[in-house]
Amino acid sequence: MFNISASYTDLYQLTMAQVYFKTKPNSTAVFDYYFRNNPFKGGYTIFAGLENILNIIESLRFTDADVEYLKTHDFEPEFLEYLRDFRFNGSIFSTFEGDIVFPNRPILQVEGSIMEVQIVETVLLNMLNFQTLIATKANRIRHSAGDKVLLDMGLRRAHATGGYYASRAAAIGGFDSTSNVKSAEDFNIPSSGTMAHSFIQSYVDELEAFRDFAKIRSKNCVLLVDTYNTLKSGMPNAIKVAKEMEDRGARLFGVRLDSGDLAYLAKRTRKMLDDNGLHYVKIVASNQLDEYVIKSLNEQNAPIDVFGVGTNLVTGKPDAALDGVYKLSEYNGEPRIKLSENIIKISLPSKKQVYRMIDQNGMFYGADVIGLASEEKIAQMFHPFDANKSLDLQPFKHEPLLNEVMASGKRTIQKRTVAEIAEYAKNRLALLPDEYKRFQNPHIYKISLSAALKSKRDELIKEHKF
């Protein structure tokens, strides 16, 4: 939407890059992108934002204005000339967008000159962390909603322009449509909407407001019935207007409930509509919905056809962010490690491949195994830190998850639409057993290491330990 130039980064990327430029301009590096915890205390995560990041990185440039601005910092003229000609010429190996991913395994690997892989870090994290968070939230809401229709209404409550990408990620996670016109236009997402309270307030009479709206919007007309009193005013007026529409050969699409006890009101509303022969009129509900309220409404058998979700979806509530990180794993072909007091936070060295174990029924077995990229077939997987836990991998099909998506700065996979990515996510999710999808105490998906990767990591830990 707004043009992202290469200065959409953190200053430290540029100050480090200048030192690399002066001291070791021909050095290469490999970085891994991964996160440490599934958001929302869930059992899985939906990876989103790859298409956007490939487009951004392929055309990433420092504009003349960026270079002028950077002159006000301590950058030397030769480095500023490097930035003026900057092109990302590296490679990216990635999990496909829409796939189901898990903590502490590389989702994406970036390789190239140490300067270029460092310069793209911030925009990559910014895009992937946010969209992955929102696609996961959307999918949890989809999980609760079953086959009911989901409408994203969140733009007004989103974190500024994040709303643009939130609507895209929501569609990947399983939302059917969005009220966000710009995202619908740019990403080819179905758009839909109802009406606001202000429209009804602008009339003295609610019935007149409904009549005017229905005359001009005769298709997909949804009347908001809770401005004054849902059952005593909004519904009787909506039924009158629905009957008048029938006389004109049109049909009222729906009514929207936006306050009160949504289960109770939906049941009463459905009865009033049915008693008047309006079986086809749908009930839309909104008001601070999330996966838990929708689950509860379905358990109460609320006859709601469409759920409109805003704030809780596009802000990824209650999680403020996905904790995705970008860590150096190889420098000039040599393995590198980052140690931590917390063993879970110790990074994995070297260029890697990740394999998903597929069982005899074609379902995900429940384990991804990380090996060195150079390894052929991994025979056994090991728990990252518990030497007693290992498993023979012979019975499984090994699906490699890191695929080349960019080489020498050019994308190597075809563009995929949001609809295709959403379909892919749905198909992949169907392969994940249900115990990983429940909200409370989901089953923990195993992330394990090959013997070769484990011993390389342990050697480096020994080498660097004080």
To the nearest whole angstrom, how small is the minimum distance from the Cβ of residue 153 to ligand PRP?
Answer: 4
Partner interacting with residue 197 (select from ligand NIO, ligand PRP, ligand ATP, none; CB below 5-8 Å by kind): ligand PRP
Per CB under 6 A, the segment of 52-60, 162-170, 257-265, 268-276 that binds ligand ATP is 257-265
To the nearest whole angstrom, how small is the minimum distance from the Cβ of residue 226 to ligand NIO?
Answer: 12
Partner interacting with residue 237 (select from ligand NIO, ligand PRP, ligand ATP, none; CB below 5-8 Å by kind): none
> Do residues 425 and 135 touch, judged by C-beta distance below 8 A?
yes
Q: Does 179 bind ligand NIO (CB under 6 A)?
A: yes
Kindly state the number of chain residues that form the binding site for ligand NIO, as judged by CB under 6 A: 7
Q: Does 229 bind ligand ATP (CB under 6 A)?
A: no
Q: Which of 157, 207, 218, 260 binds ligand ATP (CB under 6 A)?
A: 260
Binding mask 300-319 for ligand ATP (x = CB under 6 A): x-------------------
DSSP state of 354: E
- How far from 80 is each of 17, 87, 308, 309, CA to CA, in Å? 11, 13, 49, 46
Q: Which of 70, 83, 134, 262 binds ligand ATP (CB under 6 A)?
A: 262
Which residues between 144 and 163 bind ligand NIO (CB under 6 A)? 153, 156
208-214 own/partner pairs: CB under 8 Å, 24+ apart = 210/237, 210/238, 210/240, 210/241, 211/241, 211/244, 214/241, 214/244, 214/245, 214/250, 214/252
Phi, psi of 462 (to 5 degrees): -60, -45
Partner interacting with residue 51 (select from ligand ATP, ligand NIO, ligand PRP, none; CB below 5-8 Å by kind): none
Tell me the C-alpha distance between 245 and 255, whole Å: 14
CA angle 149, 150, 152 (to 5 degrees): 150
Q: Does 293 bind ligand ATP (CB under 6 A)?
A: yes
Cα dihedral: 206, 211, 213, 219 (round 10): 130
To the nearest whole angstrom, how small is the minimum distance from the Cβ of residue 8 to ligand PRP?
Answer: 28
Least Cα distance to 131 among 87, 153, 89, 101 occurs for 101
CA angle 357, 360, 45 (to 5 degrees): 40
Tell me the C-alpha distance between 188 and 154, whole Å: 18
Which residues between 236 and 265 bind ligand PRP (CB under 6 A)? 258
To the nearest whole angstrom, how small is the minimum distance from the Cβ of residue 244 to ligand NIO?
Answer: 22
Please name the amino acid found at residue 459.
E
> Do residues 33 and 107 touch, judged by C-beta distance below 8 A?
yes
Tell me the C-alpha distance between 243 and 240, whole Å: 5
Partner interacting with residue 297 (select from ligand NIO, ligand PRP, ligand ATP, none; CB below 5-8 Å by kind): ligand ATP
Binding mask 271-290 for ligand ATP (x = CB under 6 A): ----------------xxx-
> Do residues 304 and 284 touch, judged by C-beta distance below 8 A?
yes
Partner interacting with residue 263 (select from ligand PRP, ligand NIO, ligand ATP, none; CB below 5-8 Å by kind): ligand ATP
> Do residues 153 and 138 touch, judged by C-beta distance below 8 A?
no
Tell me the C-alpha distance between 131 and 129, whole Å: 6
Partner interacting with residue 293 (select from ligand NIO, ligand ATP, ligand PRP, none; CB below 5-8 Å by kind): ligand ATP
Partner interacting with residue 157 (select from ligand PRP, ligand NIO, ligand ATP, none; CB below 5-8 Å by kind): ligand PRP
To the nearest whole angstrom, how small is the minimum distance from the Cβ of residue 255 to ligand NIO?
Answer: 11
Binding site for ligand PRP (CB under 6 A): 153, 156-157, 196-198, 258, 286-289, 308-312
